Structures are given as structure tokens and as C-alpha cells.
Amino acid sequence: MSILVNSETRLIVQGITGREGSFHTGQMVEYGTKVVGGVTPGGAGKEVHGVPVFNTVRDAVAATRANTSIIYVPAPFAPDAIYEAVDAGIPLVICITENIPTLEMTKVYQHVKQSSSRLIGPNCPGLITPGEAKVGIMPGFINKPGGPVGLVSRSGTLTYEVVNALTEAGLGQTTAVGIGGDPIIGTSFVDVLELFQNDAATEAIVMIGEIGGTDEEVAAQYIAEHVTKPVVGFIAGRTAPPGKQMGHAGAIISGGRGTAAEKMTALTAAGVQVADRPAQVAELMAAVLN
Amino acid sequence: MNIHEYQAAKIFASHGIPINAGIVCTSPDEVAKAAQELGQAVVIKAQVHSGGRGKAGGVKVARDPEQARSASEQIFGLDIRGHIVHKVLVAPAVDIKREIYLGVTIDRAARGVTIMASSEGGVEIEEVAATAPEKIHREVADPLLGLHPYQARRLAFDLGIEPPLVNGFARVAQQLYTAFIQSDASLAEINPLAIVGDGSWQALDSKMVIDNNGLYRHKDFEELRDPEEEVATEIEARASGISFVKLDGDIGCVVNGAGLSMATMDAIKLYGGEPANFLDVGGGASASQVAKALEIVLSDKNVRAILINIFGGITRGDEVAHGLLEAFNTIKLEVPLVVRLVGTNQKEGREILAEAGITTVDTMNEAAERVVAAAKQAA
């Protein structure tokens, strides 16, 4: 078992003829993900890595019965791409695009919330259920299928680091979800924690946070009240200076809030084992599962 | 992007907010002339991208032009939380009856825009939040419908503003909200918003931060950038699509990914070192980008050792290796270098480096430990 994506996932790629979209379509097809179509306005009739291209999401869904969409459209057009996917009734929409203006995301968030779709991202690496479906930009070869660890993270490469350490320690993953590094994202830690808590195959959870905002603190409270599975955490940015954006739009300590120390304290108080180094996550997890 | 008080005030004024208009000056002579022109007591305020100006001596009142000149002499060149004063704003001193804090910001927890007001005007809102959070009143605006007039009035009544002044306050709150939205801001703040001598509302200090991601649709804001307020290497990095923040340590970092960059800095600290920078070369970094990153890090004279930490996903190990060798063609490396290269095409990348005499390490811990030792040895 797994969460959100699996061998039943029928994926379309919005922005499939672009540089990123086309490259990652090839990567996802190679991994074995069922990529059933792509969307580029005016691109109907073309093929990218053997995948048929459609003009609209509606056309793509009608022809392919797609149930998931991944978006590689540049920032100025990405909100429109999300609206199009949501309005076509796609249940799961993943937005990889970074640098979307935050105010646009306040509108997108509200629209998605009132629909039956779930949005992951933006500014995220996507998600992977090893051996079944890779829906994103992560390197698939570092993952190990079969669980028992579910992983949720705000970061990209840091996630690869931890996944790699888990795999090297012989610990497979059910699903690894990158929720994105922006201030406003469609799916939060709490949403994914709830899914892992309810997933029979997930025996333990890794949660990777970073400075900025209070989502880790909210997650800590949720863990204390609702999560019975063991959780191992890591927070990046202990040495980050206040008031400076550290790469991700959401990674900033502002007004003295959002520090790594606050988040680590909250998680520890909720019974989460917090690692000092990324690789230590795997060591702590191995101990927890034994 | 941070902008100055006088620039924010101009944007606020264009949305109808009554501001205490002043004159921007870059020398004591100009300050004396401005005070002469205003013909009354003035307040001289340092224009820097930092709070805490008053406490640092960056705000002074003067009765006449000569006093203004000598007061400004103490302000120019002042270091306020690491920002040197090059400009001041000279504005009429006003008779303040009451001070309010009014701010608009992105509320990450609410996934929306929040308007905040506090009766503790003139005090930094973080301080109020820490000491008297009950004094901060909030309204969350609907992203599609905006801030309703009743919400603005409710804030006024929460603050205990007398009924005849409520509509005036509500108007300013809505104007500030509009300024925030139309500027793609991440913060818009009037602190204090004051009731002045004649009983009207006036913005006495204006602050605005613009969302970098919204800048593409506000080309006119580019001219608000103050190069004197930005680190030159940070500007250079941004132009190359590299995310770079200068820090105070002596270990230079070149990493791919923001989270991994932060974790790398943390690891250096854990082993007793101090990072000289945050640097994310970006996803799918090309050889030339890696070379540029190395050049930027090496331009910091405090750097005693360099750690390159690449986890290849989209970024390919061989590309990174070529980038490093390309960089060494033009830059002479005089500090020790520790390279950790894993992920996509790690074998190819390591072979390319090995041929050039550069050895690589396997784990991040080992890399951090080694670079800290190398920096200590060089010190």
C-alpha cells in the first residue's frame, strides 16, 4: 500500500512540450509511471516520448481517463494551469513550478479548497511510490520499494539525502511526498501525516521541515493528538540568519518566529525523535523499527 | 525586496493614504535646506532597510535648519543593525494625539492576507506580539472579495477608536490593503498611524516589502532597488539564477537545493565550524553555473576552506565536475576544497575529478568534518 500515487495513477503532464516538462516526462515514463497524456495549448496531435499531447486538460481527461496531473508550466501561467486541472475534475494536482507570486496562491488555495481536488505544491519535487509511480522530479533510483517508511518534506534535495540514507540502511519507503517550500501550499504536513496514519503499509513516518512559518508546530500538535505511529524528524536551518530568505520563498525567519529551535522543541514535545543530521534520520528510524 | 520608508510612503500616498510628506536628503547641507523649505520644526529619519532606527539614534527632531544640519551629521554614516545610513528623510514634526499600529501581511497559517492593528503604535509589532499579544487585533481578508468595510470598522472598534474617527481609520485600512494587493507586497505597515493636531489620520512611518516572485509584473519597482543596501555578490548571484546569502563564517558552501544548503550549513556548525554563506546553485545546475557559484564564494576574503555538496537528482555529477574544472581554469584556488558528490552520474563525476587530482568523499558528515578541520588548519 501507499498514499496518493500508485500503479493505478494515470498521469497527464501540463506543459509537456516545454524543456522541463518534456525531460521529466521521459524520466517518469522510464521509471514506469503511467503517463497517459500531456497538455500544451496548440500542441494537439504531437507526441512527447510517445505520450499524446492535447490542447486542453478537458480533452486529455476525456481521451485518457487521467486521474492525476503534474504541472511544469512557468510561474506566470502556473495558477491558470492549476485552475484548469481542478476545473476538469482531476482529483490530484501536483505543481512543480517555483516562483509563483504568493498573492496568486491565496486565490488558488481558496479555489482548490472549495473543489474536490487536492493540490500538492507549488515549488515542490512531487511524490513517489517506489516501484509504482514517480510523479515529480526526484531521482527514482535512490528509493527502495515496499515500505515501511512514509516520508513528508518541505525540501527537495534534502529529501533525496534522507531517502538515500534510509535505502542504504535497508529501509524502504511506502511513499515520499514533497509538499513544497512556498509560504502557501496546497497540502500541509498535517494532511500527509493523516494519510500515512491511515495507510496500513506505513509503519513509521519521517517528517522533514525547515525554518519559516508555523506548519511544523501545527504538525507537532497533530502528531501528539492523532498519530500513533513513530515519527522521526529533521529541521533544516538552525544556522540561518533572521530576515533572510534561504532559497525557498517560505524559508525565512521573520519577526523572530519560524526558527529551527522552536520547531525542534515543538516536535520533541510531541514525542518525535529529532535528528541532528540528515543521515541520522535513518539511524533513528532503524532503532525505532527494531 | 525591501524598499525605503520614503518609497513606501509614496506608494501609500498614491492609494490615497494621508502621509507626512518629507524631502529625501543625502548630505547635511541638503538637510538644512530642506528644513528651511519646510519652515518649521522637523524630524530627520535615517533611510535604511532596517527596523530599530529610533533606538539606534537614527531619528532626531530639530527646531531649525542649523539644528537639523548638526543632527543629520550624527545620523549620516550611522550603522543601524549592519546598515550604513546614506540617506535621510526630513519631514515636518507633527503634534501626535494618539498612535496606532496598522499592518497588512501574508498569514501563512490562515493561507491568506491578514490586517493587523494594535493600540501600541510606534512599537515594533514583534515586541507587542511577544509581550502583549492580546493588544493585536486581526482580520483575515477574503482573497477574492478583499477586505470588507465592516472588517476595517471592526478593527477600529476593537482598538477603542472614538466613533467620529472610525470611518477615517477604516478608509486608511482599506487603502493600505489595496496598496498591499496591487503591489504584490508581502508586508505593508504604517507604524505609527497617528491622529495629529487637527484630528485627522496621518501615516508617520511607512514600510513595505515586495514579494520577489511578484516583481515580474511590476517592472517599475526595479528602480526602487537600492544597491547600497544589497550585498554586491548577492545581486551577482541572483543574476545567474543562484540563491546566495552572505554569512559571517569562514567555510564557503556550494550546494544544490535550498534545504540541503541549510542542512550543510548546520552540519558545519555541528562540527564546530562557521559557514561563510548559504548557496543553492539551483536544480539542474549547468557546468557554467557551478563555476559561477565557486567564483562568488571565492570572492569572499574570509573564506578559508570550501565545501561542495551535491546530491545529483536532475543535477548530473559529470556536469558538476566539468563546472569545477572549468572554474579552476580561470580561478586559482588557494584554499582547501572538500567535494562530496553523490547521485546521478556520481561515478562519472568522481572519475573526472580524480583525473584532475581532486578527491571526493562519500557522506555529508565526513565532508563537514573534513572541511571544518581544513579551515581550522588554515586559520
- Contact of B56 with B104, CB cutoff 8 Å: no
Question: What cell does A204 get?
Answer: 513509521
The question of whether A248 is a catalytic residue gets the answer yes
Backbone torsions φ then ψ of B209, nearest 5 degrees: -120, 130
**Cα dist from B175 to A261, B152, B189, B334, whole Å:** 37, 10, 12, 56
The phi and psi torsions of B146 (rounded to 5 degrees) equal: 85, -165
Residues B185-229 pLDDT 10s: 999 999 999 999 888 999 999 999 999 999 999 999 999 998 888
Q: Indicate the average pLDDT of chain A.
A: 95
- Choosing among A72, A103, A127, A152, which should be mutated to test the B contact, i.e. which has the most B CBs within 10 A? A103
pLDDT tier at B284 (50, 70, 90 boundaries)?
Answer: low
Which DSSP symbol is given to B76?
T
State the cell numbers at B253. Answer: 558552501
The whole-number pLDDT of residue B317 equals 83
Q: Which of residues 110-129 of A touch B (CB under 8 A)?
A: 110, 125
Each residue's pLDDT tens digit, B313-352: 767 788 888 888 888 888 788 899 999 998 878 888 899 9
The percentage of residues in chain A with a pLDDT greater than 90, rounded to a whole number, is 90
The per-residue b/e assignment along B66-91, b for 16 or more CB within 10 angstroms, e otherwise, is ebbbebbeebbebebeebebebbbbb
Burial B173-208 (b: 16+ CB within 10 A, else e): bbbbbbbbbebbbbbbbbbbbbbbeeeebbbbbbbb
Contact B259 A236 (CB under 8 A): yes
pLDDT (average), residues B79-108: 94
Choose between B271 and B290: higher pLDDT: B271
> pTM of the prediction?
0.92
- Residue B24's alpha-carbon distances to A250, B1, B49, in angstroms, are 33, 20, 15
Cβ of B257 and A106 within 8 Å?
no
Q: Within a 13 Å sphere around the CA of A80, how many CA atoms are in the beta-carbon half?
A: 10
Q: Is B126 on the interface with A (CB under 8 A)?
A: yes
* C-alpha distances out from residue B65 to B21, B37, B39, B46, Å: 17, 9, 8, 17
Contact A75, B211 (CB under 8 A): no
Question: B263 touching A, CB under 8 A?
Answer: yes
A87 Cβ under 8 Å from any chain B Cβ: no
Tell me the C-alpha distance between B113 and B146, whole Å.
9
Closest CA to A220 of A272, A277, A276, A259: A272
Q: Cβ atoms within 10 A of the Cβ of B160, count? A: 7
DSSP code of residue A1: -
DSSP string for B94-127:
--EEEEEEEEEEEETTTTEEEEEEES-TTS-HHH
Answer whether B253's CB lies under 8 Å from B268's CB: yes
Name the packing angle between helices B258-270 and A157-168 (round to 10°). Answer: 60
DSSP-assigned states of every residue in B167-206: HHHHHHHHHHHHHHHHTTEEEEEEEEEEEETTS-EEE--E
SS3 of B128, please? helix
**Per-residue model confidence (pLDDT) at position B198:** 86
Interface contact A158-B363, CB threshold 8 A: no
Q: A18 CB near a chain B CB, below 8 Å?
A: no
Select which of A49, A111, A226, A248 is catalytic: A248
B111 and B88 in contact (C-beta within 8 Å)? no
CA–CA distance, A41 with A57 (Å, rounded to integer) = 9
**Sign of the CA dihedral B293, B299, B301, B304?**
positive
Residue A78: pLDDT band (50, 70, 90) is very high
Q: How far from A70 is each of A104, A137, B69, CA to CA, in Å?
A: 19, 10, 61
| d(CA A209, nearest CA chain B) in Å | 9
Decide: A194 and A225 in contact? Cβ < 8 Å.
Answer: no
A32, pLDDT greater than 70: yes
Share the mean pLDDT of chain B: 91
